[in-house]
Amino acid sequence: MMNVSHPQNGFTNTLIELAPGIDLYPQFFELQAQKTLVDLVRDIVRQAPLFQPTMPKTGKAFSVKMSNCGSLGWVADKTGYRYQANHPTTAKPWPPIPQMLDDVWTKLTSNEAGKAQACLINYYDPSAKMGLHQDRDEQNLQAPVVSISLGDDCRFRIGGLTRSGPTQSLTLHSGDVLVLGGENRLAFHGVERIYPGTSTLLSAPGRINLTLRRVTG
Ligand code: SIN
Ligand code: FE2
């Protein structure tokens, strides 16, 4: 692990390089900004309710509930994992990505990445988790994934480019931002457990994760 300051944009947020291309920005968002983000998420979820994704082959339900904002949203059902412009149950277009999230993307990615097109909203109740996986449903694997944690802490596991390779685990806290890019854009990662009651940001125990992505080239 290495502590470095950001080489390009000149902003002062501390970053910890967990591996080449995998940068953790602890407490990127202060409490007030976290509250604003939660309000924005509530507003989005009112328009685009959380849905229950299922595993493509087995039809088994994820323990995580999801929604999206952006021109494209990630969905999972019997027919597969994909991005689509409309909510799977209401069929409405996803609400737009709020300016505040666009700004985070712009701050933490290079110009070549283009604008964020999708923001997946994951809601973890205290018993939810997410198995080790790669984010590889995007046509564009050049642009990084920018991941924001809100609410209760979680134990996050991150490895390399093979499922069986070595992994490290770390605690993600409310306000932390993790960027997966460069040579480790396809690193395996997952959420092993939520630590309920470690944050009072949300009105009930649980965790929200927001992942911003560029989908097309
Ligand atoms: C994900 O990999 O989609 C979610 C990661 C997280 O919840 O931190
Ligand atoms: Fe992921």
Q: What is the DSSP string of 75-133?
A: EEETTEEEEESB-TTT-PBPPPPPHHHHHHHHHHS-GGG----EEEEEEE-TT--EEEE
Cβ atoms 106, 174 nearer than 8 A: no
Which strand (E) or helix (H) includes residue 3?
Answer: strand 2-5
CA pair distance 68, 72, nearest whole angstrom: 8
Cβ atoms 173, 77 nearer than 8 A: no
Q: How far apart are the CA of 110 and the centre of ligand 1, in A? A: 22
Q: How far apart are the CA of 140 and the centre of ligand 2, in A? A: 15
Q: Please tell me the predicted confidence (pLDDT) of residue 13.
A: 78
Which atom of ligand 1 is closest in space to residue 207's alpha carbon? 7
Give all domains of the chain, ordered by start, each with its CATH number. 31-213 (2.60.120.590)
Q: Please tell me the predicted confidence (pLDDT) of residue 10.
A: 42
Q: Please tell me the predicted confidence (pLDDT) of residue 9.
A: 42
**CA atoms in the 13 A half-sphere facing the CB of 147:** 21
- Per the structure block, which two tokens stand in for 148? 């924001």
Q: Please tell me the predicted confidence (pLDDT) of residue 12.
A: 53
Grouping H, G, I as helix, E, B as strand and the rest as coil, residue 22 is: strand
Q: Please tell me the predicted confidence (pLDDT) of residue 3.
A: 54
Task: Find the distance separating the first CA and the last CA of the chain, reported in whole Å.
Answer: 31
Low-confidence ranges of the chain (pLDDT < 70): 1-12
Q: For ligand 1, atom 7, which residue shows the shortest CA distance?
A: 209
Q: How far apart are the CA of 43 and the centre of ligand 2, in A? A: 23
Residues having CB closer than 6 A to ligand 1 are: 122, 130, 147, 156, 189, 191, 209, 211
Q: How far apart are the CA of 137 and the centre of ligand 1, in A? A: 14
* Contacts for 50 with CB less than 8 Å, ≥ 6 apart: 65, 66, 67, 121, 123
Pick from 28, 130, 134, 158 the residue to mutate for probing ligand 1's pocket: most ligand atoms within 8 Å of its CB: 130
